[in-house]
């Protein structure tokens, strides 16, 4: 088995990391790679605070063979503020996937973790990636604990898929204070959710909207375009999807579903985020989604819409009925100390996950 040198990356590694990430295809029928050009470092800095990248290079050739990174952010857990991190972007060439290589990588992660203020890390693994699930959740020598939290579904919609008659109206936010106040006052009763920093409300790549019934605000939502610093590209498809792609795209046109792009092409998408609804309008959730889709389609034509929900979320059964692509994943809490595991006992309720960070 080839030997690897593990280290914390710095700016001189940026070009190699960019190329490695953009060419490394995910497992499953839809093989995607993440393009973070023009700078991997600058890109992950927009996902969270204190970003750190770990890389592995072949000792002899110095070839980059593996990467992974962590960021930090504040979360609300059972109504209290905590500092957690997020682990993502773990990529390792198959010929280097030994237990020793992973153990060395996580040893470096533990060194970095011991110098930061977060308690542990959230991460997600695509359900089709059974090999990663089996290895990383095994707690083999040198690996941290992966505490399973929930099943997640990321919906990818063609916004033209769903129309419903409505007397509700949508307007772009003019008063950020009004929008922020509504978001704060309609927070859902989730046991875990991200804390919205003030900088989020000032992000120029996020367009914020209010939905009104007459003059009354009944819902808020934002559409987040990340294409300037992060975009997924289709590298390839499984054999059976390759054979059926053209036929499927004809079907998708009729049913107004997302189409399968040519390999090498980017997926044009944006994220639905900060969706809040007044309690008395929850029963009109399908109508609210219809207004969101209409707004997205009108202002961002030919761009797909992404949204993630936990399967315990009360909204899930309704949203799941809207025709879409569905990407299934498992969410975990990663930690080293069982005595300090915030999730060692099942917490009743649901958690909120932001698609833009997955």
pLDDT given for residue 122 in this prediction: 96
199: confidence class by pLDDT, cuts 50, 70, 90: confident
For the cut 80, the answer to whether the pLDDT of residue 217 exceeds it is yes
What pLDDT, on the 0 to 100 scale, is given for residue 345?
87
> Helices in 85-238 by DSSP H: which ranges?
99-113, 130-136, 176-185, 198-201
All structural domains of the chain: 156-228+264-325 (3.40.630.30)
Average pLDDT over every residue of 215-237 = 94
How do residues 11-22 score in pLDDT, each as one tens digit? Answer: 999 999 999 999
Task: Give the span between the Cα atoms of 150 and 159, in whole angstroms.
Answer: 27
* Higher pLDDT among residues 146 and 175, named by residue: 146
Query: Binning pLDDT at 50, 70 and 90, where does residue 1 land?
Result: low
Proportion of the chain above pLDDT 90, given as a percent: 77
Residue 54 has pLDDT above 80, yes or no: yes
What pLDDT does 27 receive? 80
Quick one: pLDDT at residue 201?
82
Q: Identify the pLDDT of residue 191.
A: 96
Give one word for 206, left, alpha or beta, with left for phi > 0 and alpha for psi -120 to 50: beta
Task: Return the closest-CA partner of residue 17 out of 60, 52, 59.
Answer: 52
Is 356's pLDDT higher than 90? no
**pLDDT confidence of residue 357:** 47
So what's the pLDDT on residue 140?
81
pLDDT mean across residues, the chain: 92
pLDDT of residue 355: 56
Beta bridge pairs of residue 308 = 154
Higher pLDDT, 300 or 200: 300
| Alpha carbon of residue 188 to chain centroid | 20
Quote the CA–CA distance of 231 and 226 in Å, as a whole number: 7
Q: Rounded CA gap, 318 and 287, in Å? A: 11
> What beta strand segments (E) does the chain contain?
4-8, 30-35, 49-58, 64-77, 80-92, 121-126, 145-157, 169-172, 192-194, 206-213, 216-224, 231-237, 269-277, 304-310, 325-335
Query: Residues of the chain with pLDDT > 70: what percent?
Result: 99
Give the mean pLDDT of 249-260. Answer: 94
Query: With 60 as the cut, is the pLDDT of residue 302 above it?
Result: yes
State the pairing for strand pair 304-310/269-277.
Answer: parallel
CB-CB contact of 68 with 89 (8 Å):
yes
> Residue 358 above 60 pLDDT?
no
Give Cα separations from 347 to 55, 157, 219, 309, 315 (angstroms): 35, 30, 28, 17, 18
- The structure tokens listed for 237 are 């498809």
Model pLDDT for residues 147-174, shown as the tens digit of each residue: 999 999 999 999 999 888 899 999 999 8
């Amino acid at each position: 088995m080839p030997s690897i040198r593990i280290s914390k990356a710095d700016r001189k590694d940026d070009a190699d990391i960019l190329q490695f990430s953009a060419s490394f295809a995910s497992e499953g029928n839809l093989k995607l790679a993440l393009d973070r050009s023009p700078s991997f470092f600058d890109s992950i800095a927009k996902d969270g605070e204190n970003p750190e990248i770990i890389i592995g290079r072949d000792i002899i050739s110095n070839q980059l063979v593996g990467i992974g990174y962590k960021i930090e952010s504040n979360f609300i857990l059972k109504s209290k503020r905590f500092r957690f991190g997020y682990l993502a972007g773990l990529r390792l060439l198959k010929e280097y996937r030994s237990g020793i290589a992973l153990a060395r990588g996580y040893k470096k992660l533990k060194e970095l973790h011991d110098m930061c203020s977060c308690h542990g890390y959230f991460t997600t693994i695509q359900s089709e990636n059974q090999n990663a699930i089996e290895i990383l959740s095994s707690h083999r020598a040198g690996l941290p604990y992966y505490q399973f939290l929930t099943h997640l579904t990321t919906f990818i919609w063609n916004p033209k898929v769903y129309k419903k008659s409505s007397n509700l109206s949508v307007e772009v936010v003019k008063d950020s204070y009004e929008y922020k106040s509504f978001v704060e006052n309609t927070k859902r009763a989730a046991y875990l959710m991200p804390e919205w920093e003030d900088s989020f409300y000032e992000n120029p790549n996020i367009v914020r909207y209010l939905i009104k019934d007459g003059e009354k605000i009944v819902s808020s939502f934002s559409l987040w375009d990340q294409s300037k610093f992060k975009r997924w590209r289709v590298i390839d498809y499984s054999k059976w999807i390759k054979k059926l792609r053209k036929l499927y795209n004809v079907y998708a046109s009729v049913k107004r579903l997302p189409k399968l792009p040519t390999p090498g092409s980017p997926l044009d998408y944006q994220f639905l985020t900060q969706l809040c609804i007044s309690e008395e309008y929850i029963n009109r959730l399908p109508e609210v989604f219809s207004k969101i889709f209409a707004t997205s389609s009108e202002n961002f034509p030919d761009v797909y819409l992404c949204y993630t929900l936990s399967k315990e979320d009360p909204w899930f059964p309704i949203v799941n009925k809207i025709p879409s692509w569905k990407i299934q994943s498992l969410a975990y809490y990663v930690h080293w100390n069982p005595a300090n595991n915030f999730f060692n006992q099942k917490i009743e309720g649901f958690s909120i996950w932001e698609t833009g960070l997955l």
